[in-house]
Structure 1
Amino acid sequence: MELIVLWDIDHTLIENAGVSKEIYAAAFSSLTGREPTAPARTEGRTDRLIMRDMFLRDGLPVPEWPAVEDALARAGHDRLGELRSRGTALPGVPEILKAASLRSGWVSSVLTGNIAANAHVKLSAFGLDSLLDLSVGSYGADAELRPELVPIARARIRRLRGVPADVPTVLVGDTPRDVEAALASGSGIVAVASGIHNSKELAEAGALEILPDLSDTKGVLSILEFFAARGKRPRTSLHRPRTR
């Protein structure tokens, strides 16, 4: 059974302990010479959208994207040590990523709002980068809106890994925007209430499969195998939503 699994990073695979918002603030400051008036709004949004909104909110012209991406990459690189000391991989993440990487016919990569450079920084900080096929992932530089990232990842996987177009795709993420991206693209969704959104919010967004975290390796694999076998999201939840 073939399957494409696309994992979100922040609050799904790792806890960044506030380092992400420090990266956005540092990138903003390096481009403007002053601090932003308020922290970045993230919650599953892409880096393109996050940074654009920071400039507009402060009444500033939005720089050309290459300059913004370069500033983000430098800020992320400079905070690798801070991320390692303050952040952590979330419960069960190394185990489920390793298990998924060993499944024959599965492509396990990322769909994240982070630019590729900072996605690598965040994953490598906790030794997770080698467990994912990052070259076929979809990143925050690729599009402004999260649903647009799904076909980009699918196209890369078809082109670089030779995966047929009809292989099912499952997103794993912690925000309503992850759920929206899955539903808009006809993908499956496994929502994880390990970020700021609780099970009720994720269910209201349309998720049927909702887990408190990824610590139950066998349980998560069972859900992913269901998607691989059926090729679509289940009609009823195997794990009914629970409010935290």
Structure 2
Amino acid sequence: MLWNVDLTLVDVSIVTRDAYVEAFRAVTGRPLVKLVPPMGRPDSEIIFETLAVNGVVAEDDHLPRFLDALAAAFADRRKRIAKEGRAMAGAKDALRSVARLDGVTQTVLTGTIKSNAMLKLRAFGLDKYVDFELGGYGEEPYSKASLLQVAQGRARDRLGVPFTADNTVLIGDSTRDVQTARIGGAKMIAVASGRSTAADLREAGADIVLPDLSNAAEVVAAIATLTTPLDRKAV
């Protein structure tokens, strides 16, 4: 079971933007004028585009330096996460309910770098339901669809089970997440809790669309619909 993080499980956009502002200045010595919208993209992609739209020519060391600066800036703001952010409606109950399903392992597939994803979920008590070692994260220089396959490979190596579209489920909130599932090889449960509407998510090809995570029974039922008892050892 793969969960997107931002606007699916939590919303900490204010803190994230402030961390980007500090990281940009630390790396370039200039103020950040424009931060490109996330739109479900990995931090590595956002960093390169943000450098470009602010007139900075990316050099070989820009990405690793920016990733380190972003991790440090976000960690410095960890006390603000719960105060200025929020867990999305029903997120904890959904994670808890899915954790009770036999044979299900939960992890994340997120554009956020690993350290920041862990801090985001820990601030709202959501981290205990997630195996962070099996996920895909924004510091890895891959498309999100490729990150899905990386996560499947990590789960296969750990659990000894091959993971395909038959036993992998992604829950996310954007049309980019839907495209990720379709290209990367996963069933897709889309929640209209982010910037994409339910109609957008259906048109993009989501298998099931929910308004949000507030009804944990609906989430569990959706997983049951997309998998079977024999293949429900899902990541």
Given the two structures, how large is their TM-score scaled by the length of structure 2? 0.91
Contact 1:21 1:40 in 2 (8 A): no
- Quick one: distance in 2 between partners of 1:32 and 1:13? 32
Q: Deviations over 1:14-62 (max 9, x none)?
A: 1114222222222111111222121232010100000010111122122
- Quick one: distance in 2 between partners of 1:40 and 1:20? 12
**Corresponding letter in the other structure for 2:31:** E
State the partner residue of 2:49: 53
1:121 to 115, 119, 122: 119
**Corresponding letter in the other structure for 1:225:** A
Contact 1:19 1:83 in 2 (8 A): yes
Contact 1:47 1:140 in 2 (8 A): yes
State the partner residue of 2:198: 199
1:13 to 4, 9, 12: 9
- Quick one: distance in 2 between partners of 1:127 and 1:84? 10
Q: Which runs of 5+ in 2 are unaligned?
A: none
Given the two structures, how large is their TM-score scaled by the length of structure 1? 0.88
1:42 to 31, 38, 47: 38
Contact 1:48 1:141 in 2 (8 A): yes
> 1:207: how far off?
1.6
State the partner residue of 1:213: 212
> 1:86: how far off?
0.9
Which SS does the other structure have where 1:126 is aligned?
coil
2:18 to 11, 16, 22: 22
State the partner residue of 1:147: 145
State the partner residue of 1:242: none
Contact 2:187 2:207 in 1 (8 A): no
State the partner residue of 1:71: 69
State the partner residue of 2:101: 103
Which SS does the other structure have where 2:20 is aligned?
helix
**Corresponding letter in the other structure for 2:58:** V
- Quick one: distance in 2 between partners of 1:99 and 1:27? 37
Q: Deviations over 1:69-122 (max 9, x none)?
A: 111110110111111101111111111111222322111100000010110111
**Corresponding letter in the other structure for 1:142:** E
- Quick one: distance in 2 between partners of 1:11 and 1:196? 8
State the partner residue of 2:79: 81
- Quick one: distance in 1 between partners of 2:80 and 2:86? 11
Contact 1:93 1:215 in 2 (8 A): yes
Which SS does the other structure have where 1:191 is aligned?
strand
The answer to which of 146-155 and 12-21 deviates more is 12-21
- Quick one: distance in 2 between partners of 1:225 and 1:142? 31
Q: Which runs of 5+ in 1 are unaligned?
A: 233-244
> 1:158: how far off?
0.7
Q: Calculate the aligned-residue CA RMSD, in Å.
A: 1.7
